Chains A and B, each alone.
Chain A
Amino acid sequence: MALLEIRDVNAGYGKGPDILKGLSLEVEAGKSYCIIGPNGAGKSTLLKVISGLLPPRSGEVVFRDVPFNGARPDQVLAAGICFVPQDQAVFPEMSVKENLTIGAYLERDRSVIKERMERVFELFPILAERASQDGGTMSGGQQQMLALGRALMIDPAVMMLDEPSLGLAPQIADQIFATIRQMEALGITIVMVEQNAVRGLELADWGVVLDLGIVRFEGPADTILDDPRIRELYLGKAVGSGGTE
C-alpha cells in the first residue's frame, strides 16, 4: 500500500493553462524519490500541490488512505508531510534558534521541541554554533541547512525538497546531500526535485521523469541513470563526461 498517492491531478496557476495534466504517482514509505525533468515539466508544481500551497483543479492527493481535498498547508504538515521550498525558506529576522522553534509550531510539548532541537544541532553543528544569529545574515548553504533542520523539527514522515543544492558551492552541496542520506537513514521518506539529476538519482532509490505535466517514466534510480534514452533526453550530455553537473 502506498503511503502517498497522487491520483490524476490537474493543476496550474491563476487563469493559466494546466501545468500538471492528469499526473498520477505512488510514493512508498521509507523509500527516497528523485523527480527529474526539463524546465516547465511541473516538478515544483507537483510539490506545491502535495504541500497544499496550490489546490489542484481536479484529481486528489491521498495520504495514508485519507484524501486531502483542498487541505491547507498546515493541515498537510500536521499529517506528516513537510516541504522545503527552493528559496527564501528561512525567517530572516528570527535567530537560528527561533527559526527551529517555529519549525515545531504544531508541537506544543516543550520537552519534545527541546529534544528535537538537540537532534538537529547534532546533525548540523554549525547551527548550534550560530544559534543566536539572525537567519537572514547567514550564507546560502547555512540557510539551506537551517531550512532542512527546521523541517526536521516537525518530525515528518515525508520530506519534500525542492532543489536542495540549487546555487550552492560543491562542498556545501555535498554536505546537504550527506544530510539527506542521514534523513533517509532515520526512516523519513524523501521526495526531492533536483536540478543536478545525476547527484539526485545516485542518492535516491527511485527515479521519476516528469515531462509536460505527466510522469513520462519511472523506475529504480540506477536503471534510469543507465538508460541511454533517458540520459540523452533528460540528463544532458555532461553525464557521459563524468556527470559533474
Chain B
Amino acid sequence: MTEIIQVVIFGLLLGGVYALFASGLTLAFGVMRIVNLAHAVFIVTAAYGAFFAWDELGIDPIVSILFLMPLFFILGVGVYLMFFIRIEGSPRYVEMTVLLTFGIAIMIEGILGWRFTGIFRQAKPGYLTDAFFWGDYLIPTGQAYAAGLSLVLLAGLWLFLRYTRTGYGIRATMQNRAAAQLVGVNVRRVSAISFGISAAFAGASGAFMSYLFPFFPFRHWQWIALLLALVVLGGMGSLKGAVVGALLLGVASSLVVDQIGPGWGPMAFYAALFGILLIRPQGLFGKELAV
C-alpha cells in the first residue's frame, strides 16, 4: 500500500506540471479556437531561455519565471496580432489555425536547431537531485517545487478569470463569442490578451522543463502530442478539465510504469485517453460537440 501511495504521489507531482504545460493550450483553444500546435515549441524555447540564464548567468530556473512570463506574454500578443488577426473572418478558421501553428512550430524548431544545435540540455540547479521525506514518502525537491508552483500559477489564473474585468471578458468570449461582443467585450483585444497569457504560461512551463525534462529542439513534437491528448481528455477549452485530466493521466502513467515497466508509460497514457473518449467523446468537462 505504502508503495502504491508513493507511486501516486510521483504521479500527482508529474500531473501538476503537465497541467501547467497544458493550461495555455486549452486557454488558446477555449477563447480563440486556436489549436496551437506551436505551444510545446514555445515551452521548449522558454526552456532554452531558462537553461542559458542558469548556465551563463547562474540564474535559478525558477527565478527565471519572473522574466520569462512577461517576455512570452509580449511574444504571444505579437504572434497573435501578426498571424491570427488576418484569418479571423475565415470560414475555415480552426483548420487554418492548425496549419498556421504547425508552420510556426516548424519555423521556430528550425531556428532553435540552428542556434542551439540538437544536443540535449538540462539545467542542473542544486535541488534537482535533492529529496525530502514527508512521513514515509519520498518527495523529490525539484519536482515538488515545480508541481507546487504550477498549482499556484493555475490558481492565480483561475482567480484572474473569475474576479477581474478582463477575466470576465475572457470567460464570456469562451462561452459565447457573439453574446460577448454584444455586452461590449472587445473580443479581438481579449483574444490577443488571452494568447499572451497562454504564451506566458508556456514561458513558465519552460522554466520547469529546463531542469525536469531534458530537451532539444525536436523534442516539442513529443510534448505537443501529450499535451493535445490532455486537452482533448479534459474537454477542449476547459481549464478545469485540463488540470483534472493532467493529474489523472500523470497518476495512471506512473502506476503503469511502476507495475509493468518504464516503456509502457506513454502507451498507458494514450490507452487511457482512448478509453475515456469512448465513453465521453466530448472529454471529461467538455460540452457536447457543436456541429
Contacts and interface: CB of A to CB of B under 8 A. Distances in A.
A105 B189 CA distance: 14
B117 interface: no
A78 to B, nearest CB: 6
B259 interface: no
A84 B178 CA distance: 11
Nearest to B189: A74
Interface stretch (B14-22, B144-152, B169-177): B169-177
Interface string A55-92: 00000000000000000111001100011110011111
A85 B172 contact: no
Contact of A90 (B176, B181, B184): B176
Interface string B80-97: 000000000001000000
A73 B181 contact: yes
Majority-rule SS of A interface residues: loop
B168 interface: yes
B185 interface: yes
Q: Which of A14, A92, A105, A150 has the most CB of B within 10 A?
A: A105
B280 interface: no
Contacts of A128: none
A108 B169 CA distance: 13
B176 A74 contact: no
B168 A102 contact: yes
Closest 4 CB pairs of A and B: A73-B181, A106-B184, A74-B184, A77-B184
A72 to B, nearest CB: 7
B171 A150 contact: no
Interface in B166-208: 168-169, 171-172, 175-176, 178-186, 188
B241 to A, nearest CB: 12
A193 to B, nearest CB: 15
Contact of A78 (B176, B184, B188): B184
Contact of B178 (A53, A93, A150): A53
Contacts of A78: 184
A102 B172 contact: yes
Interface of A: 14, 51-53, 72-74, 77-78, 82-85, 88-94, 98, 101-103, 105-106, 108, 150, 154
A102 B183 contact: yes
Contacts of A98: 168
A102 B182 CA distance: 10
A72 B186 contact: yes
Interface string B45-61: 00000000000000000
Nearest to B186: A74
A84 to B, nearest CB: 8
A74 B165 CA distance: 15
Interface of B: 91, 165, 168-169, 171-172, 175-176, 178-186, 188
Given A85-B179, A91-B171, A92-B175, 9 more contacts: A14-B91, A72-B188, A73-B181, A73-B182, A74-B185, A89-B176, A102-B185, A105-B184, A108-B165
30 contacts: A14-B91, A51-B182, A52-B181, A53-B178, A53-B181, A72-B181, A72-B188, A73-B181, A73-B182, A73-B184, A74-B181, A77-B182, A77-B183, A77-B184, A83-B182, A84-B182, A88-B179, A90-B179, A91-B172, A91-B180, A93-B175, A94-B171, A102-B168, A102-B185, A103-B183, A105-B172, A106-B183, A106-B184, A108-B165, A154-B183
B84 to A, nearest CB: 17
Contacts of B183: 77, 102-103, 105-106, 150, 154
Given A91-B176, A94-B175, A82 B182 contact: yes
A94 B184 CA distance: 17
B220 to A, nearest CB: 32
A74 B91 CA distance: 22
A105 B176 contact: no
Given A14-B91, A101-B168, A91 B185 contact: no
Given A14-B91, A90-B176, A105-B165, A85 B182 contact: yes
A89 B179 contact: yes
A22 to B, nearest CB: 24
Contact of A105 (B168, B175, B178, B188): B168
Contacts of A52: 181
A88 B126 CA distance: 54
A91 B179 contact: yes
Nearest to A84: B182
Q: Which of B165, B168, B171, B183 has the most CB of A within 10 A?
A: B183
